[in-house]
Amino acid sequence: MRAISVKEVSKLKGNIEIQGSKNTVLPIMAATLLSSGVSVIYNCPDIDDVAVMCQLLACLHVKTNRVGNTLTIDTREAAYEPLPLSLTGKLRSSVLLLGPILARWGKARIGMPGGCAIGLRPVDIHLEGFMKMNVDIRLHRDILDCSTFHLQGCEYHLRFPSVGATENLIMAAVGARGRTILRGAAKEPEIVELCNYLLAMGALIEGVGTDVLIIKGTDVLTSCDYCNVYDRIVAGTYLLMAAAIPSDITLTGIDDIHYMKNIIKVASQIGVSVVKMENCLHVQSFGKVDGGDFETGIYPEFPTDLQPVLVAVLAKAKKDSSVTERVFEKRFGIVRELEKLGADITVKGQRAEIKGNTELYGHTLKAADLRQGAALVVAGLFSRGYTTVTNISYIERGYEDIVRDLQCVGAEIAYV
Ligand code: UD1
């Protein structure tokens, strides 16, 4: 089993090129199924989740071809097939194929999605929305059997602004008959990107970027290309990391910081100075973390995906801090591992209380989900001596090469 070994570092200096966004590209890959043609996706990250999505598309006779960070998707010979649990179980986003498959073929037999073990992560909102659209759904031994005579536009209020359910229902609605109104929709940047991509394909969507989306179904969608945005969570990982280590680094490939406002705000509060320059962020710090009380939330609040990195960095703060998790009900998997480094953290329900002024000492740690794994690597950079992070396949689901990135800023880090 591969692992990452990282040594405590005294300063970080250099450039990191920020990869393309995972959470944006996965729904857009699913959306290519809505038309028959060839789509080119630029700046597509070379990560395991994208590779699994390609395998799922291959089950549907879709051809994909990667050259560098350009992914070509050819849906001209796409044909309906059931999607096996052995593949869908590897990825939460496999469920995003349900909407496009139903829009294209009116039936879907698909294994339940997998993904990181962060809370229950049910798909009831996705399914309730599909049922409103006239889909008959049965679940038997983790296989969803769905069929519809035709998808019918509907009015649906999501009980929680689930990102995935919003994406899935939008993709179904663009191929449904009549008008769909989604209320209580998620407004994450990835949804805006998906809507803009669908609009370019010929979809009719109003209210993009708001929590009420009005979608008129159409059957004339054409394939189109997409230039992927940078990954705001990967950028945020390195931005927060800078708080705990004296830093003078540049994050390149960041053209627009609109979607990072709250991440930059929190980074600034804990001691990072961030200056936007052309196509990059210049990041400096003295490596002295200012503690505080923070909360995750739905966009535009601080993203839950960066909560493990924030908790890790606050373990180095000068004073006590707290982080309250408002999106997932069980997302403090980082705490047990940080305790092995010497961190003093108490979890009370959805809130982690983190003692300041603690010395952290390198240890062997185990990644148990994507963002927690990345946070452990970051923690290794500011823990005495050496830290080894095992189970790194979780990290490779979403980070192209965290070792390469951190070497670029002078870290002593390697695969072992
Ligand atoms: C997406 C992101 C993930 C991020 C999350 C929240 C992708 C590929 N993943 O995940 O990185 O952490 O948004 O920003 O884009 N829920 C239900 N029923 C449902 C769906 C969700 O109860 O049918 C609950 C979940 O258990 C969770 C909350 O809603 O507590 C948020 O989930 P959701 O927004 O759906 O996250 P994902 O789309 O899976």
Separation between Cα atoms, residue 26 and residue 169, nearest integer Å: 15
Instruction: Please calculate the CA angle 292-189-22 and round it to the nearest 5 degrees.
Output: 90
Nearest to 126 by CA among 116, 140, 112: 112
Residue 146 bears catalytic tag = no
State the pTM of this model: 0.97
What sign results for the dihedral spanned by CA atoms 28, 190, 271, 359? negative
User: 156, 160, 170, 350: which to mutate for ligand 1, most atoms within 8 A of CB?
Assistant: 160
Ligand 1 within 6 A of 304 CB?
yes
Report how far ligand 1's centroid is from the alpha carbon of 124 (Å). 11
HEC assignment per residue over the chain: CCCEEEECCCCEEEEEECCECHHHHHHHHHHHHHCCCEEEEECCCCCHHHHHHHHHHHHCCCEEEEECCEEEEECCCCCCCCECHHHHCCCHHHHHHHHHHHHHHCEEEEECCCCCCCCCCCCHHHHHHHHHCCCEEEEECCEEEEECCCCECCEEECCCCCHHHHHHHHHHHHCCECEEEEECCCCCHHHHHHHHHHHHHCCEEECCCCCEEEEECCCCCCCCCEECCECHHHHHHHHHHHHHCCEEEEEECCCCCHHHHHHHHHHHHCCEEEEEECCEEEEEECCCCCCCEEECCCCCCCCHHHHHHHHHHHCCCCCCEEEECCCCCCCCHHHHHHHHHCCCEEEECCEEEECCCCCCECCEEECCCHHHHHHHHHHHHCCECEEEEECCHHHHCCCCCHHHHHHCCCCCEEEC
Residue 328 Cα to ligand 1 middle (Å): 8
Radius of gyration (Cα) for the chain, nearest Å?
21
What pLDDT was estimated at residue 141? 87
Atom of ligand 1 nearest to the CA of 160: 29
Distance (Å) from CA 361 to ligand 1 centroid:
34
Q: Is the CB of 327 under 6 A from ligand 1?
A: yes
Chunked into runs of 10 residues, the chain (416 residues) has average pLDDT values of 95 98 98 98 98 98 98 98 95 96 97 73 92 96 94 98 98 98 98 98 98 96 97 98 98 95 97 96 97 97 98 97 94 96 97 96 97 98 98 97 98 98
For ligand 1, whether the C-beta of 122 sits within 6 Å is yes
Integer angstrom CA distances of residue 97 from 7, 82, 125, 367, 416? 41, 11, 15, 28, 36
For ligand 1, atom 3, name the residue with the nearest CA: 305
Residue 313, number of CB atoms within 10 A of its CB: 29
From residue 326, alpha-carbon distances to 94, 200, 369 in Å are: 24, 34, 18
- pLDDT reported for residue 115: 67
Q: Is 118 in the pocket of ligand 1 (CB under 6 A)?
A: no
Q: Residue 84 Cα, ligand 1 centroid: separation in angstroms?
A: 22
**How many CB atoms are closer than 10 A to CB 147?**
15
- Nearest atom within ligand 1 for CA of residue 164: 38
Report the CATH fold assignment for 22-227.
UDP-n-acetylglucosamine1-carboxyvinyl-transferase; Chain (3.65.10)
Taking the CA of residue 233 as reference, the ligand 1 atom at the shortest distance is 11
Numbered ranges of CATH 3.65.10.10 in the chain: 4-19+230-415, 22-227
How close is the Cα of 121 to the center of ligand 1, in Å? 6
* Structure tokens given for 18: 């920020």
CATH number of the domain at 4-19+230-415, please? 3.65.10.10
**What pLDDT score was predicted for residue 116?**
63
